[in-house]
């Protein structure tokens, strides 16, 4: 049962992240995600069988300290975003912002409501998972959102071209060897939001 709850939390957290990208892109002038039917919380429109279900379930079942997975990316056309400064950064940041907002909202519920222990634990998992997704996605390695934010500020440089070229390799290396460096930051935000 716990594994089922975990998959549901993970799936909808990732879907909310992706839909936020599409919503922000549409706000900035690009209707691509809406026209593709991707501005929906219906999981059937977003599920990647391996990234959304199989990999997270295997990691969770194995007791892995590293949580990784993905949904099908929501499409957007950067050429439709108009003349907004840092438009790509805004689209990328919307996903991270949504995960952090979800964590804060459920943290407020935990702090303000008298909840049964099971429900409080469930809400705490929502907070933690969304913090992991939000903080992890800020890492400036392609294809994570942090790289899109960084590239929007740096422009086309040798560094950005190098990161784009080796992004997948760098990301795997980071997940294996560098993810633990995010743990203190995630734990700090968790303690601030939940209060314990």
At 168-194, the pLDDT tens digits run 899 989 988 998 999 999 999 999 999
Q: Residue 98: pLDDT above 70?
A: yes
Query: What integer is the mean pLDDT of 135-148?
Result: 95
**For residue 113, pLDDT beyond 80:** yes
Among all residues, which ones are annotated catalytic?
Answer: 18
Confidence of residue 67 (pLDDT cuts 50, 70, 90): low
Q: In a 3-state reduction of DSSP, which class is residue 135? A: helix
Asked if residue 142 has pLDDT above 70, the reply is yes
Calculate the average pLDDT of the chain: 89
- DSSP string across 94-126: HHHHHHHHHHHHHHHHHHHS---HHHHHHHHHH
Residue 109 has pLDDT above 70, yes or no: yes
Q: At what angle do helices 87-112 and 183-194 cross, to 10 degrees?
A: 50
Q: 30: alpha, beta or left, given left = phi > 0 and alpha = psi -120 to 50?
A: beta
- Given this model, what pLDDT does residue 65 score? 63
Return the minimum-mean-pLDDT range out of 75-84, 145-154, 166-175: 75-84
pLDDT > 90 in the chain, percent: 62
| pLDDT for 83 | 75
């Amino acid at each position: 049962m716990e594994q089922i709850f975990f998959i549901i939390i993970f799936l909808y957290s990732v879907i909310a992240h992706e839909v936020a990208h599409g919503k922000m892109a549409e706000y900035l002038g690009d209707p691509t995600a809406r026209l593709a039917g991707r501005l929906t919380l219906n999981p059937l429109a977003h599920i990647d069988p391996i990234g959304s279900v199989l990999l997270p379930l295997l990691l969770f079942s194995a007791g892995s300290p590293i949580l990784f997975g993905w949904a099908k990316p929501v499409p957007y056309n950067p050429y439709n975003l108009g003349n907004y400064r840092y438009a790509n950064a805004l689209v990328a940041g919307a996903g991270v912002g949504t995960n952090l907002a979800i964590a804060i909202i459920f943290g407020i519920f935990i702090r303000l409501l008298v909840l049964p222990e099971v429900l409080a634990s469930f809400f705490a998992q929502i907070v933690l998972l969304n913090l992991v997704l939000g903080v992890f996605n800020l890492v400036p390695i392609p294809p994570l959102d942090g790289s899109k934010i960084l590239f929007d500020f740096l422009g086309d440089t040798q560094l950005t071209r190098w990161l784009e070229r080796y992004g997948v390799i760098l990301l795997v290396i980071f997940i294996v060897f560098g993810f633990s460096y995010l743990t203190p930051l995630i734990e700090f935000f968790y303690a601030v939001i939940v209060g314990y």
